[in-house]
RNA sequence: GCGGAAGUGGCGAAAUUGGCAGACGCACUAGAUUCAGGUUCUAGCGGGGGCAACCCCAUGGGGGUUCAACUCCCCCCUUCCGCACCA
């Protein structure tokens, strides 16, 4: 369907093999570089969709698509190593000057870089070492206990055979059964358990207890923390609850220490750090640890590797084969695409539906030729959408993903438009894949989108219009009823594009009526005998001048609105004003067709990008040999932008009392002279009492009168 | 809790180096055209008062700066978005 006026020749369909073949190819490229790998880990599981999800697709502990509470499972899955690009994804945000700050902030938060140090603690009565990550190595003297995440690999060994073994096992089991929302949500209680084991604080030799707690996460830092209750609010709350010692190491704040003191200050109770402020103390402690091999400076990220396996049908099959002899072997490029089988049974098994198709599963190992099994998971569809913009400019390539020459010529995308809901999904993934392809030497740029504009949502009945919510407006039906020009015009006229807007079926009539008005005007004028004549304009009357000015003002306004931030709504209202004036003007018996012709031609050209079909039709009926699209953009004549008279406001003590028509550029004395002829003003104002006059050229004059 | 954006007629909204609030459109009302409905055209349309000329009030609320505030400053309210045990 080409009715919207799109160029469907450039269409790409990511669920068809001639597209996803290249998604699979990109997977192989990442795999070659060690950026696609398989590992067993604790992953997000949506119990309704029966598939794993990436962290980015879990919103407030719920599935982004179906809103179910997400569970945690230990599963072996495929990942993309986006964490290897964390620093670049963060640093390069700075160069994206034409991205909204909001989106950049969201990406920064999501990547979540923290500088700090790793510190090793020896466990008493055993050979183990617990390594913690902290952003506050300066407070090491104040560390009064350690906390491990329940999933920490050392936990089982630490409690084995001890008096706390049973309790610890129960604690770990209960933490595992909780959803992330139950465990980490805002109402979650801090749960803890003393393991009965102790460790040595490396900086002062103090013996401190080792706890387990639900609020420590295995997948951030090292899964273990040192607790400094005096200077960390979470540790403070935990220490109060479990009656653990609190030792102040930074001066200042509440002398009674009724809450954690997290501000900067001078170190105390800290040996060689005493007297330093936080910043220098951090550096000195890191150095001290490094010299003694007790720790090192370290950086942690919140960003985790991108889990791309899905137990879904729709997605590119992951092109890997599991051979009992050779292990995981990539499908050779020449064997791509690995096609989605058609004869699939869809059963809610929690495993990929592709598992049910033996012809798909059973494959020869590409390495040894032996019997092997294909990976049956498909890739997250966000992988498909992370590179489609490269394919758009090479949509017909059949022997490669894209033509690098064409891609390097056209991309990065000059102007990208999308919803803010993609801030940490599509937009982050696309940046990552682009950087990988750049590093592989396949493209010449490492950011996909130069400018980003986040448009608002269209709502209906106050809720987001979406396919899944079933409240979307069907363009086809509207196009059937009104034509695509009306549909396009209304969506542009509905409001400022960055703002959410409520769809109103009735208001579409307004756009339809406007185009009808333009069309009828055009047809009527075309019948005027002299309409085609390009007669010179001599000594135009005031009405003629008014229309010419309006024409050139409209060209200017529309040009500025469209170039400076997609203000289509006000551009369209300016064109409506021109049309309204044209209707008045044409009724004037002396109306001149060359002036009408200039106004109408300008209008048609301004409408071209918005309502291409009707605009091209009118353009062609005017007898132009070239299409409107090839005829350029109208220019305005600056001489015709300003009127020679202007209406100014006449105020007394700041209140409007009257209005006056005066020549443009008239000076203060002139304005006063003009204004005093006004009888209406005379009754409201005694000139003898005027103490002060404020005059703004071409805008207003304000007489200040004493009491 | 922290950070950001927003709040203007019945509705979508205009107006920003401070200078005539409500352009443009929807809905609505009246009139013309029409057998009628629809279409089209004309006019009206923030609230209150007045026969009228006009007057008063009004941009979430309260204060302030100014001749002049939707616009600048301070306090507050509401809505939406992001972050929220990330050590």
Q: How far is the CA of A478 from the C1' of B76 (A)?
A: 46
Query: CA A102 to CA A409: how far, in whole Å?
Result: 30
The reply to whether A188 has its C-beta less than 7 Å from any atom of strand B is yes
In 3D space, the residue among A636, A650, A634 whose CA is nearest the CA of residue A682 turns out to be A650
The reply to whether A564 has its C-beta less than 7 Å from any atom of strand B is no
Nucleotide nearest to A507 (CA to C1'): B26
The reply to whether A463 has its C-beta less than 7 Å from any atom of strand B is no
Q: Point out which residues pair with A59 in neighbouring strands.
A: A62
Q: Is A216 in a helix, a strand, or coil?
A: coil
The reply to whether A516 has its C-beta less than 7 Å from any atom of strand B is yes
Nucleotide nearest to A238 (CA to C1'): B85
Query: CA A250 to CA A139: how far, in whole Å?
Result: 8
Query: CA A425 to CA A35: how far, in whole Å?
Result: 18
pLDDT of residue A697: 81
- Quote the Cα angle for A567-A570-A572, to 5°: 105
Q: Which residue is nearest to nucleotide B4 (CA to C1')?
A: A102
A249 touches A73 (CB < 8 A): no
Query: CA A501 to CA A488: how far, in whole Å?
Result: 15
pLDDT of residue A657: 77
In 3D space, the residue among A547, A554, A564 whose CA is nearest the CA of residue A607 turns out to be A554
The reply to whether A59 has its C-beta less than 7 Å from any atom of strand B is yes
Residue with tokens 């073994």: A165
The reply to whether A128 has its C-beta less than 7 Å from any atom of strand B is no
The reply to whether A102 has its C-beta less than 7 Å from any atom of strand B is yes
Q: pTM to 2 decimals?
A: 0.87
Prior bond to A21 cis, omega within 30? Answer: no
Q: How far is the CA of A1 from the C1' of B60 (A)?
A: 46
In 3D space, the residue among A338, A416, A431, A336 whose CA is nearest the CA of residue A382 turns out to be A431
Q: Point out which residues pair with A250 in neighbouring strands.
A: A267
A674 touches A666 (CB < 8 A): yes
pLDDT along chain A (707 residues), means of 10: 74 93 97 94 84 83 82 88 93 89 88 91 89 94 93 89 89 77 67 91 93 88 92 90 92 83 89 91 93 92 90 92 95 93 82 89 93 93 94 92 96 90 89 96 95 85 68 79 91 88 86 93 84 57 83 94 88 94 83 85 94 94 92 90 80 78 80 72 65 82 75
Nucleotide nearest to A117 (CA to C1'): B87
Nucleotide nearest to A505 (CA to C1'): B26
pLDDT of residue A403: 95
A31 touches A25 (CB < 8 A): no
Q: Is A287 in a helix, a strand, or coil?
A: helix
The 3-class secondary structure across A254-298, one letter per residue, is CCCCCCCCCCCCEECCCHHHCCCEHHHHHHHHHHHHHHCCCEEEE
The DSSP code sequence of A334-356 is GG---PPPSS-----SSS-GGGG
The reply to whether A33 has its C-beta less than 7 Å from any atom of strand B is no
Query: CA A426 to CA A452: how far, in whole Å?
Result: 13
pLDDT of residue A539: 53
Nucleotide nearest to A420 (CA to C1'): B81
pLDDT of residue A447: 95
The reply to whether A690 has its C-beta less than 7 Å from any atom of strand B is no
Nucleotide nearest to A509 (CA to C1'): B26
Contacts of A673 (CB under 8 A, 6+ apart): none
pLDDT of residue A593: 80
Query: CA A268 to CA A277: how far, in whole Å?
Result: 10
A628 touches A619 (CB < 8 A): yes
The reply to whether A480 has its C-beta less than 7 Å from any atom of strand B is no
pLDDT of residue A339: 93
Tokens of A234: 């979470």
In chain A the first and final C-alpha atoms are separated, in Å, by: 73
Chain B bases closer than 7 angstroms to a protein Cβ: 3-4, 11-15, 19-21, 23-27, 39-42, 54-56, 67-69, 81-87
Helix or strand holding residue A502 (H, E): strand A501-502
Strand residue runs (E) in A124-267 = 129-134, 145-148, 192-200, 207-213, 224-227
Q: Model ipTM?
A: 0.92
């Amino acid at each position: 369907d080409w009715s919207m006026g799109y160029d469907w020749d450039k269409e790409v369909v990511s669920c068809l093999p001639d597209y996803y073949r290249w998604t699979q190819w990109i997977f192989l490229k990442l795999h070659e570089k060690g950026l696609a790998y398989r590992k067993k880990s604790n992953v997000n599981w949506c119990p309704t969709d029966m598939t794993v999800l990436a962290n980015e697709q879990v919103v407030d502990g719920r599935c982004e698509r179906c809103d179910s509470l997400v569970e945690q499972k230990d599963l072996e899955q495929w990942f993309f190593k986006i964490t290897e690009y964390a620093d670049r994804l963060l640093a390069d945000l700075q160069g994206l000057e034409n991205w909204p700050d909001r989106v950049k902030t969201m990406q920064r938060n999501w990547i979540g870089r923290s500088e700090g140090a790793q510190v090793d603690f020896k466990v008493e009565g055993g050979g183990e070492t617990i390594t913690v990550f902290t952003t506050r190595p300066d407070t090491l003297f104040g560390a009064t206990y350690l906390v491990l995440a329940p999933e920490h690999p050392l936990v089982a060994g630490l409690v084995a055979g001890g008096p706390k073994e049973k309790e610890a096992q129960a604690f770990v089991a209960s933490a595992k059964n909780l959803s992330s929302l139950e465990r980490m949500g805002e109402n979650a209680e801090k749960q803890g358990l003393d393991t009965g084991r102790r460790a040595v604080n490396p900086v002062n030799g103090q013996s401190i207890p080792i706890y387990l707690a639900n609020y420590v996460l295995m997948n951030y830092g090292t899964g273990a923390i040192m607790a400094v209750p005096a200077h960390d609010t979470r540790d403070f709350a935990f220490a109060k609850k479990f009656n653990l010692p609190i030792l102040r190491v930074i001066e200042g704040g509440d002398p009674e220490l009724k809450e954690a003191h997290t501000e900067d200050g001078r170190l105390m109770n800290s040996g060689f750090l005493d007297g330093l402020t936080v910043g220098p103390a951090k550096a000195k402690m890191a150095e001290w640890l490094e010299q003694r091999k007790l720790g090192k400076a370290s950086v942690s990220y919140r960003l985790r590797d991108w889990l791309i396996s899905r137990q879904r049908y729709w997605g590119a099959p992951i092109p890997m084969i599991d051979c009992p002899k050779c292990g995981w072997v990539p499908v050779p490029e020449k064997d791509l695409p690995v096609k989605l089988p058609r004869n699939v049974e869809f059963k809610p098994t929690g495993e990929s539906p592709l598992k049910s198709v033996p012809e798909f599963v059973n494959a020869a190992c590409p390495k040894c030729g032996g019997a092997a099994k294909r990976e049956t998971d498909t890739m997250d569809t966000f992988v498909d959408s992370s590179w489609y913009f490269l394919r758009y400019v090479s949509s017909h390539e059949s022997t490669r993903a894209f033509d690098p020459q064409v891609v390097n010529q056209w991309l990065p995308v000059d102007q990208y438009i999308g919803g803010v809901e993609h801030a940490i999904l599509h937009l982050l993934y696309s940046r990552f894949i682009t950087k990988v392809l750049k590093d592989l030497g396949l493209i010449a740029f490492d950011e996909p989108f130069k400018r980003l504009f986040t448009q608002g949502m269209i709502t209906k009945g106050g809720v987001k219009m979406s396919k899944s919510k079933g409240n979307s407006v069907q363009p086809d039906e509207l196009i059937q009823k009104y034509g695509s020009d009306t549909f396009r015009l209304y969506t542009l006229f509905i409001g400022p594009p960055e703002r959410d807007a409520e769809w109103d079926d009735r208001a579409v009539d307004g756009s339809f009526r406007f185009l009808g008005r333009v069309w009828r005007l055009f047809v009527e004028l075309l019948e005027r005998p002299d309409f085609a004549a390009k007669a010179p304009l001599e000594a135009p009357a005031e009405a003629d001048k008014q229309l010419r000015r309006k024409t050139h003002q409209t060209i200017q306004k529309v040009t500025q609105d469209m170039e400076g931030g997609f203000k289509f709504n006000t551009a369209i209202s300016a064109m409506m004003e021109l049309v309204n004036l044209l209707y008045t003007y044409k009724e004037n018996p002396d109306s001149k067709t060359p002036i009408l012709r200039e106004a109408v031609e300008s209008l048609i050209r301004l409408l071209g990008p918005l309502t291409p079909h009707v605009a091209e039709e009118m353009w062609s009926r005017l007898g132009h040999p070239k299409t409107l699209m090839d005829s350029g953009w109208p220019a305005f004549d600056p001489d015709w932008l300003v009127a020679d008279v202007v209406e100014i406001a006449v105020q007394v003590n700041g209140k409007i009392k009257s209005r006056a028509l005066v020549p443009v550029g008239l000076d203060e004395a002139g304005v006063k002279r003009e204004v005093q002829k006004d009888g209406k003003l005379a009754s409201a104002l005694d000139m003898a009492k005027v103490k002060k006059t404020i005059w703004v050229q071409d805008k207003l004059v304000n007489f200040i009168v004493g009491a």
